[in-house]
Amino acid sequence: MQNRFLDSITMLDKPLATALAPLLHEQFCGHIDANQFAMLVEASGKKEEQVLMELLPIAAALANPPISEFYVGAIAKGKSGDLYMGDNLELPGEALFHSVHAEQSAISHAWLSGETEIVDIIVNYSPCGHCRQFMNELFNGSNIKIHLPQQETHTLSYYLPYGFSPADLNVTMPLLCKRVKEFSLNSDDPMIIEALDQMGLSYAPYTNTNAAVVLETTDGATFCGRYAENAAFNPSMQPMQMALSNLIRHNRQYNEIKRAVLIESSEGKISLVGATMDALHTIAAVELEHIVVEPMPA
C-alpha cells in the first residue's frame, strides 16, 4: 500500500478497509472500476452512496496543497459506473489561479480516461462557485447529482440556479462530448505524437486554442493534460495544471520531470505558453518545448 493512504484507511470500517487495501498498490492513481466498486459495496454491507462518502478520505489523501494545507477530495462517478478520484493541487509560492480544485481534478481524471458522462460528484466540502461553473460545462451538467457529507443530495442546478452554460454561447457539444479535431505535424517523436493526439481531444470552443501538455519523467513515463475551456472563461482548466494533477495522482514528484511539451493550434485567439511556462518553472528546472501546429482542412 502507498504510504499516503496509511492514515486515511484507518478512518474506514474494517470490512471496507480490508477490501480496499489491495487496490491501493503502488500503481493506484484514484481509479476504481465498476466491478471493483461493486466488490467494495458488497464487502462493506452498506449502500453505494454511503460507501462513496467513506471513500472521500482516500481521495483527499491524493491532495497536494502546500499553501492552504486544506485537503479536499472529490470522486466523479461516470455513467460507466467507474469512480475517478480527484484532489486539490497548489503550486508552491505561485499565484493562486494556478491551483486545481478537487472537482476539476476528478472530472479531468474521468475525461482523460475516456468517460463521456458524469452522473455523480461526491466531495468532502461544498463546491465553490468556481467548481459549480466548471461542472456546468459538462454534458448534461445541470443534472449531475452532488453528494456532500450529512446533507441531502441535490443536482447541480440546485447549487447553481440560473446557471450560465455553453448553450448561452451557442456551443452544442459541451465538455466530455466525444470529439476529435485533426492537426497536421510530421514527427517520429513519441512524446510529440502523444501531445498531438491529446490536443485533438482538447476542448476550446471559445478561442479555438486547442492545446495539450505532455510531461516526461526520468523513467520515461508520460503524463498528459488537455485544455478545457469554460463558458465563464476563468474556470477554464489549463493543460499544464491538468498534467500536473495527473502526475501527482500517480504519486510522482515534480523533481522527476525531465521534459515538457506544450502543443497548441495556430488558429487560436490566445496562447497558453506564458501561463504554462510560469507553472512549469515553479516546480521544475526544465525548459518548455512549445510547438504550434496547423489544423487540417475540414
The set of long-range contacts for 283-290, using a CB threshold of 8 Å and a minimum separation of 24, is: 283/91, 283/92, 283/244, 283/254, 283/257, 284/254, 284/255, 284/257, 284/260, 286/257, 286/258, 286/259, 286/260, 287/260, 288/260, 288/261, 288/262, 289/259, 289/260, 289/261, 289/262, 290/262, 290/263, 290/264
For residue 119, pLDDT beyond 90: yes
Residue 48 in marked binding region: no
Q: What is residue 297's predicted lDDT score, i.e. its pLDDT? A: 81
Residue 101 in marked binding region: yes
Q: What is residue 146's predicted lDDT score, i.e. its pLDDT? A: 98
For residue 178, pLDDT beyond 90: no
- The residue from 48, 54, 69, 103 that is catalytic is 103
C-alpha to C-alpha distance for 212 and 24, rounded to whole angstroms: 29
Query: How many Å separate Cα 177 from the centre of its chain?
Result: 16
pLDDT, tens digit, for every residue of 17-70?
Answer: 999 999 999 999 999 999 999 999 999 999 999 999 999 999 999 999 999 999
Q: What is residue 180's predicted lDDT score, i.e. its pLDDT? A: 86
pLDDT, tens digit, for every residue of 257-278?
Answer: 999 999 999 999 999 999 999 9
Give me the phi and psi of 135, to 5 degrees please.
-65, -30
Amino acid letter, 110: A
Residue 75, SS3?
A: strand
C-alpha to C-alpha distance for 250 and 148, rounded to whole angstroms: 25
Specify which residues 156 forms β-bridges with.
none
Q: Are 74 and 58 in contact (CB under 8 A)?
A: no
For residue 98, pLDDT beyond 80: yes
For residue 298, pLDDT beyond 80: no
For residue 91, pLDDT beyond 80: yes
pLDDT bin (cut points 50, 70, 90) of residue 289 is: very high
Q: What is residue 262's predicted lDDT score, i.e. its pLDDT? A: 98
For residue 284, pLDDT beyond 90: yes
Angle at 187 (CA atoms; ends 186, 188), nearest 5 degrees: 140
Residue 170 in marked binding region: no
Q: What is residue 201's predicted lDDT score, i.e. its pLDDT? A: 96
Give the pLDDT mean for 158-183: 94
Query: Quick check: is 103 catalytic?
Result: yes
Q: What is residue 142's predicted lDDT score, i.e. its pLDDT? A: 96
Place of cell 499516503: 4
Q: Are 242 and 213 in contact (CB under 8 A)?
A: yes
pLDDT bin (cut points 50, 70, 90) of residue 179 is: confident
C-alpha to C-alpha distance for 278 and 187, rounded to whole angstroms: 27
Percent with pLDDT over 70 in the chain? 100
Give the pLDDT mean for 207-231: 98
Q: What is residue 18's predicted lDDT score, i.e. its pLDDT? A: 97
Kindly give, in sequence order, each residue whose CB lies less than 8 Å from that of residue 35, ignoring residues fewer than 6 positions away: none
The set of long-range contacts for 229-234, using a CB threshold of 8 Å and a minimum separation of 24, is: 229/137, 229/203, 229/204, 229/205, 230/133, 230/134, 230/137, 231/133, 231/136, 231/137, 231/164, 231/165, 231/166, 231/168, 231/169, 231/171, 231/206, 232/133, 232/164, 233/206, 234/97, 234/130
- Choice among 48-52, 72-76, 177-181 with the minimum mean pLDDT: 177-181
C-alpha to C-alpha distance for 65 and 226, rounded to whole angstroms: 22
Residue 140 in marked binding region: no
Give the pLDDT mean for 199-204: 96
Give the pLDDT mean for 132-136: 98
Give the pLDDT mean for 149-168: 96
Q: What is residue 296's predicted lDDT score, i.e. its pLDDT? A: 87
pLDDT mean across residues, the chain: 96
Residue 224 in marked binding region: no
Give me the phi and psi of 103, to 5 degrees please.
-65, -40
Which three three-digit cell numbers place residue 61?
A: 489523501
Against a cut of 0.85, is the pTM above it?
yes
C-alpha to C-alpha distance for 148 and 156, rounded to whole angstroms: 12
